[in-house]
Structure 1
């Protein structure tokens, strides 16, 4: 079952997540719920804290439309600079240019606990960085000017209030 996506600036999105240590059935269930939430929202990635779980895990979308889980990821190498038009499921209807690294090398575990290393560039490198930022307690608006961030924050707080009224 899909979970609601948390809207920024909720505290769970602004705090670093905890490492995953239990690779059992609860992890599998959370990954399924995250995937459903991401697909419903038509996203290309989602971090656990975006569905309210402060765990260091995310789904990352490839350019071919497939997805894979990254658990306890760390960026090992970064190079080059590129600017992308970026949006976020937790900051709906906001798209802004963000500077990222063009290439990254990432080490992560899969749902069985196996370690992997991937060198990525282009859109995949972008999605890796966006999702790992989430796990570190950052959203893409942290890369924007304070004026833009403040304006977006005001809009998101209004959206949070509207969604809360709708739920009640």
Structure 2
């Protein structure tokens, strides 16, 4: 069974994550659990803190439908400001135009600890920025106007209450 996705505004989503230092079996297990949760929710990316784990790792979806993990990522360069429609597994059923960059250069590790650099543009650059934002303690709604953020918060708090009620009924 996949782990539950944390709903914003949960503190784990607004707290910067800790670097991954253990590249052993526990990391592989966590990556598998994250991937399962992402696929079940039909996402194109997921950060560890979205399942309540405050570590600096994420899955990122490519345009061809494949995925790769990024561990301890850093955005080295960004260019070409752009506004794109964005959603999030932790803010379900909400899509808003969000400021991002068309092109990014990212440095990250894989599950073996090996370092990689990647230049991306378009949708892949968008997903990378979204997931790295999570790891830095930001959700895309943090980039919206105060009014839109407030409306989103009201909606997510109602959803959190409904999910809690449903969980209590199931027990």
Normalised by the length of structure 1, the TM-score is: 0.99
Following superposition, the deviation at residue 51 of structure 1 comes to 0.3
- Gap runs ≥5 in structure 1: none
Partner SS for 1:137: coil
Counterpart residue number, 1:124? 124
Counterpart residue number, 2:52? 52
Counterpart residue number, 1:13? 13
Partner SS for 2:85: strand
The 5 Å alignment of 1:138-157 reads 138-157=138-157
Following superposition, the deviation at residue 71 of structure 1 comes to 0.2
- Gap runs ≥5 in structure 2: none
**Post-superposition CA distance 1:7-56 (Å, at most 9, x none):** 00000001000000000000000000000000001000000000000000
The 5 Å alignment of 1:53-132 reads 53-132=53-132
**Post-superposition CA distance 1:117-152 (Å, at most 9, x none):** 000000000000000000000000011000100010
2:170 pairs with 1:166: no
**Post-superposition CA distance 1:94-117 (Å, at most 9, x none):** 000001011000000000000000
Q: Which runs of 4+ in 1 moved over 6 A?
A: none
Aligned length in residues: 168
What CA distance in whole angstroms lies between the structure 2 residues aligned with 1:105 and 1:22?
25
